[in-house]
Amino acid sequence: MSEQSKPKRGGAKNAAPARLRVKKTYKLYVGGKFPRSESGRSYAVTGPDGAELANAALASRKDARDAVSAARKAQRPWAGQTAYLRGQILYRAAEMLEGRAGQFAEELSEATGAEPHEALGTVEAAIDALVHYAGWTDKVASVLGGANPVAGPFFNHTKPEPLGVVAVFAPQDDPLLGLVEAVAPAIATGNTVVAVASEEKPLPAMSFAEVLATSDLPGGVVNLLSGKVAEIAPHLAAHADVNGIDLGGVEDEALAADLEAAAAETLKVVRRPGKSGSSLDLVRQWVEYKTVWHPAGMAAAAGGGY
């Protein structure tokens, strides 16, 4: 019998052993890190067919406070960066999302039931949104600011500045693109963000945190929480260190009204549900204006003050 015709010893025993797929662990994204909820809670996330996809962290009031604290700590350094650098970092995020477009399309398809080509189209729209707002970073000052004509020997200039810390909510049925369109205009102008993912479909948003973490975006500029909107949102609306809140993703009208009332207690800027507008409107929403007077002509020569 030739060597080739001899039976191999062991037979099926030498076959590669079957292995279990390592399921992804979805955590929060706070301060540039991926912590579990401080409460240790999680909840099951299911697809449209009822099949369980994964467990997501169930954020608590303490997690919301930690996210606000991280956002506040990061806000001044982020606003102090040049507009060009902020644009480059947003563009880098678009590059990283582009490189993982297939993965995100698969996650979106599983989460929403969309056809693969539709899910990929949504991912591409999110990439385009990041590139679009990356282009806005160094144009905001010239579009929204400028020199003002005044009566008297003075120069009067208006300069847009970031509002501070902004809380946003992803729409329930648009877990990736809706989140990107809420976050990008806020951070483009130097704000920092605490974002709450879609409660029912949080997985694409929590994967997006990995894109942000590898895009040179400083930790704390964007913080992502998953969990129950009705539990997290009131703490963000009432938090004195949050300067603005975007209720566009809050679909419960009664909850949105309660959040708006809570936000009024600390004089927050509020973007109401259903409010639409151009990208400039979204950028303008999260800036405030500083007007500077400076003496000119004879007043300057005479040592006039501000």
Q: Where are the domains of the chain?
A: 53-301
pLDDT digits (tens, 9 = 90+) for 236-274: 999 999 999 999 999 899 999 999 999 999 999 999 877
Say what the pLDDT of residue 152 is.
78
3-state secondary structure the chain: CCCCCCCCCCHHHHCCCCCCCCCCCECCEECCECCCCCCCCEEEEECCCCCEEEEEECCCHHHHHHHHHHHHHHHHHHHHCCHHHHHHHHHHHHHHHHHCHHHHHHHHHHHHCCCHHHHHHHHHHHHHHHHHHHHHCCCHHHHHCEECCCCCCEEEEEEEEECCEEEEECCCCCCCHHHHHHHHHHHHCCCEEEEECCCCCCHHHHHHHHHHHCCCCCCCCEEEECCCHHHHHHHHHHCCCCCEEECCCCCCHHHHHHHHHHHHCCCCEEECCCCCCCHHHHHHHCEEEEEEEEECCHHHHCCCCC
Structure-token pair, residue 57: 């962290």
Residue from 177, 191, 205, 197 nearest 283 by CA: 191
pLDDT digits (tens, 9 = 90+) for 39-58: 999 999 999 999 999 999 99
- The lowest-confidence range among 12-21, 36-45, 62-71, 177-186 is 12-21
Question: Please, is 244 exposed, middle or buried when counting C-beta atoms within 10 Å of its C-beta (0-12, 13-18, 19+)?
Answer: buried
C-beta atoms surrounding 302 within 10 Å: 9
d(CA 194, CA 176): 15
Q: Does CATH place domain 53-301 in 3.40.605.10?
A: yes
Quickly state the pLDDT bin for 149 (edges 50, 70, 90).
Answer: confident
pLDDT digits (tens, 9 = 90+) for 157-177: 788 899 999 999 999 999 999
pLDDT digits (tens, 9 = 90+) for 275-298: 777 888 889 999 998 888 778 765
Say what the pLDDT of residue 306 is.
45
Residue from 43, 30, 22 nearest 198 by CA: 43
